[in-house]
Amino acid sequence: MNGIVPVWTSCRFMLIALAIAFALPPGAQAEPLAKNLFGHKKLPAAIAPKAHGFYSKGCLAGGIAIAADGDHWQAMRLSRNRRWGHPRLITLLERLSREAAQDGWPGLMVGDISQPRGGPMLTGHASHQIGLDADIWLRPMPKKRLSRKERETVSAISVLKKNSLYVDDRVWTRAHAAVLKRAASYAEVERILVHPGIKKKLCDTVKGDRGWLRKIRPFWGHHYHFHVRIGCPPGSTGCKRQARTAAGDGCDKSLAWWFTEEPWRPAKGPKRPKRRDVMKLSQLPKACRAVLKAAGPVSANAVTLGYNGALTAAKAKAGVFSQVMSLDVPVPRPRPVN
């Protein structure tokens, strides 16, 4: 008698599962989640670089990686394999690292950019899907080269006072403002997302030229890192532009709203699943199927900017990377990080 109950229970579950499977439209049960398809790709699609779709709904062809180390940068959380972006973004980050160093910011600690072929991620980020978004830590780069292990464990630093919406003046420096100003100065950069407290700090302290503040956009989170977003690159005809930011420096009512209760009130009603967690391939631009299917490059090193000179910023800018990718060269041994 005791054995009958579990057998009946498992049969019942099987019957329910079968009923659900037959109730779904044909093919629906077979379509995997886009995040699983893109989240497990180790290398980019070795085709012409193009951003397809929108920042929060798309994919990336012909991505290149930023090397783990440059003169003025160190990439963090290497195990995530999110150091990939459109060549226009990766070369811009290299330039930012160099020019911000001249402004007194010692170097970039580079956080997440995109997956090798973009697309929704298994964890984190709604955007970062088309290789045009990059997170830069708000922590000045240490002089020491961090080990691979340290890059997994060292934390970013919040610039806010604990439990407050305001910047901590013991953490904030002029160099923080300088790296944001430099990033905003590039024509390619359309938006930089920061915590409202950071925007307020800039609004209260920036003198002289304030035109660049238009690109500094207050948003939730973003007090451990800032988020650089570039516009659709020329040639990416399937890339959907984001609306232009409003004229003016944004130090107005729209900023004051962030210092009311409304933006911080918990949402009412049942919790909806994140779009990233339910998005199917059929919901992404058609071109993303080809991006998934395309062959990869000979190696990651061949398409890594800053890797032993394999791909220089000048070459990447000139679009030479597609030739680099097709070269059948022996792959050099990875450079030790320490």
Min. distance of Cβ 227 from Zn ion in angstroms?
A: 4
Name the token pair of 84.
Answer: 């990939």
Query: Using an 8 Å Cβ cutoff, are 108 and 143 in contact?
Result: no
* H helix or E strand, kind and range, residue 64: strand 64-66
Residues whose CB is less than 8 angstroms from the CB of residue 277 and which lie 6 or more positions away in sequence, other chains included: 33, 35
Q: Does 190 bind Zn ion (CB under 5 A)?
A: no
Among the listed ranges 184-192, 224-232, 243-251, 263-271, the one in contact with Zn ion (CB under 5 A) is 224-232
**What is the number of residues in the chain?**
338
Min. distance of Cβ 332 from Zn ion in angstroms?
A: 31
Name the token pair of 144.
Answer: 């020491």
Among the listed ranges 135-143, 168-176, 232-240, 294-302, the one in contact with Zn ion (CB under 5 A) is 135-143
Name the token pair of 181.
Answer: 């100003």
Min. distance of Cβ 191 from Zn ion in angstroms?
A: 11
Among the listed ranges 3-11, 13-21, 221-229, 277-285, the one in contact with Zn ion (CB under 5 A) is 221-229
Secondary structure (DSSP) of 1-23: -TTHHHHHHHHHHHHHHHHHHHH
Min. distance of Cβ 86 from Zn ion in angstroms?
A: 15
Of the pair 195, 227, the CB lying nearest Zn ion is at: 227
Min. distance of Cβ 134 from Zn ion in angstroms?
A: 7
Min. distance of Cβ 133 from Zn ion in angstroms?
A: 5
Q: Does 201 bind Zn ion (CB under 5 A)?
A: no
Name the token pair of 201.
Answer: 């700090």
Min. distance of Cβ 2 from Zn ion in angstroms?
A: 55
Q: Does 227 bind Zn ion (CB under 5 A)?
A: yes
Of the pair 52, 227, the CB lying nearest Zn ion is at: 227
What amino acid is encoded at 330 in this protein? P
Q: Are strands 64-66 and 304-305 parallel, antiparallel or unpaired?
A: parallel
Q: Does 94 bind Zn ion (CB under 5 A)?
A: no
Residue of this chain nearest to Zn ion (CB atom): 227
Compute the distance between CA of residue 185 and CA of residue 202 in angstroms, rounded to an integer.
15
Among the listed ranges 65-73, 145-153, 223-231, 308-316, the one in contact with Zn ion (CB under 5 A) is 223-231
Question: Nearest 5°: phi and psi at 153?
Answer: -110, -30
Q: Does 229 bind Zn ion (CB under 5 A)?
A: no
Sheet holding 84-85, edge to edge: 84-85, 64-66, 304-305
Of the pair 180, 302, the CB lying nearest Zn ion is at: 180
Min. distance of Cβ 78 from Zn ion in angstroms?
A: 17
Strand partners of residue 226: 136
Secondary structure (DSSP) of 80-108: G---EE-HHHHHHHHHHHHHHHHTT---E
Q: Does 135 bind Zn ion (CB under 5 A)?
A: yes
Of the pair 135, 249, the CB lying nearest Zn ion is at: 135
Of the pair 94, 135, the CB lying nearest Zn ion is at: 135
Q: What is the contact surface with Zn ion in residues (CB under 5 A)?
A: 135, 227
